[in-house]
Amino acid sequence: MQIIVTGNGRFQPLAVTESVLNALLEKGITVPIVEIADDADNLFLSPSAGGDLIHEEYLQIQRDESYFTDSPVFFVEIFERQHSGGDIGLEELLEFLPSESEQFISQITAAYITHRGLCLS
Where do the structural domains in the chain lie, given as residue ranges?
A: 2-120
The pLDDT value given to residue 105: 96
- For residue 6, name the pLDDT band (cuts at 50, 70, 90): confident
The pLDDT value given to residue 103: 92
The reply to whether the predicted model has a pTM over 0.85 is: yes
pLDDT in tens, 23-70: 999 999 999 999 998 899 999 998 766 677 888 999 999 999 888 778
**Contacts (Cβ under 8 Å, ≥6 apart) of 57:** 44, 45, 46, 78, 79, 80, 81, 90, 115, 119
Query: In percent, how much of the chain has pLDDT > 70?
Result: 92
